[in-house]
Amino acid sequence: MIGVDTNILVYAHRRESIWHEPARRVIQHLAEGRSPWAIAWPSIYEFLSKVTHPRIFDPPSSSDEALRQVGSWMESPSLVLLAEPVGFYTVLNDILRATAVIGPVIHDARIAALCHYHGVDRLYTADRDFSRFANYLRVENPLLAQ
C-alpha cells in the first residue's frame, strides 16, 4: 500500500505550486485506482493547517476549500485513513528509540510509525527527513519521476 505525506497533498491542492500538476496527477492516479492507498490522520490535520495559514499562502485556502479538498480525497473507495489504535505507542516508541530523532522530526516519526503499523510499504513524500525511517518503509518522491 502507498501512503501519501502532507507535502504531496499540499502541492496537489495549491495551483500556484510548481509541483501542482505532477502532485495532482499522482493523487488522481491513486484515488481512481483499485489498489489501496493511505493518508495518516495527522497528515490531514497538517494539510488543513498549512493550506489555510495566511503566513504560508497569500491568499490561503479558505476552510471550506480545504475541507472540500479533504472530502474529495475521502470519496476515493480505495483510500485507507491511518489512525492510532490502542498499542500504537509501542511501535512509535521503537521507531523513536531506533532512530534517535528529536524535535519536529518526531511528527515525521509518527507518520512513519502509522504507516509501518498499518502495513504501508511505500510513502510518497518530498520530505527528505523520512529517509531516516528507511528500515520501516520505503520513501519515494513521485514528483521527481515525472
Residue 129 buriedness (CB in 10 A; 0-12 / 13-18 / 19+) = middle
- What is the grid cell recorded at 145? 519521476
Question: In this structure, what CATH number is given to the domain that contains residue 133?
Answer: 3.40.50.1010
**Residue ranges making up the domain that contains 79:** 2-140
Task: Quick: pLDDT tens for 24-79.
Answer: 999 999 999 999 999 999 999 999 999 999 999 999 999 999 999 999 999 999 99
**Do residues 9 and 3 make contact, with C-beta atoms less than 8 angstroms apart?**
no
pLDDT band at 98 (very low <50, low <70, confident <90, very high): very high
C-alpha–C-alpha distance, residues 64 and 46, integer Å: 16
- Does 66 fall in a domain? yes
Q: What predicted TM-score, i.e. pTM, was given to this entire model? A: 0.95
C-alpha span between 15 and 1 (Å, rounded): 27
Question: What's the pLDDT band for 118 if we cut at 50, 70, 90?
Answer: very high
> Quick check: 145 pLDDT over 80?
no
Question: Considering the domain boundaries, does residue 146 fall inside one?
Answer: no
Give me the number of domains the chain comprises. 1
Q: What is the pLDDT of residue 79?
A: 98
Nearest CA to 116 out of 94, 97, 101, 143 is that of 94
Residue 146's pLDDT is 55
Residue 145 lies in a domain: no
